A = this chain, B = another copy of it.
């Protein structure tokens, strides 16, 4: 990931509602959620949610498909992992013994 895309991604996540929406979709997993379901779960007005979903989408953090009159959204984990890779790049200047303890702490809590 290049810097400008990393900035877009970070800006998209650095927002109260959008962080909630993204994490909601992360937890929903591959089934995703319809916009209306998200709005109800998080108590957000539909236009506010729509604006924020558009922003998340431009940042590549979510993707969507129409399903009848609903639109279903999914978290795009590949973008998240690309961001994490960017943030950790050159984290130890080639000294793996400095880097490994950091990586060890990143663990999926499932």
Give me the interface of A with B, judged by CB distance under 8 Å. Answer: 3, 6-7, 10-11, 13-16, 19-20, 23, 26-27, 29-30, 77-78, 80-81, 84-85, 87-96, 98-100, 102-103, 105-110
Contact = CB atoms under 8 A, between A and B. Distances in A.
Contacts of A13: 10, 14, 87
B107 A85 contact: yes
A87 B80 contact: yes
A50 B78 CA distance: 34
A44 B96 CA distance: 31
B91 A26 contact: yes
Nearest to A8: B14
B80 A95 contact: no
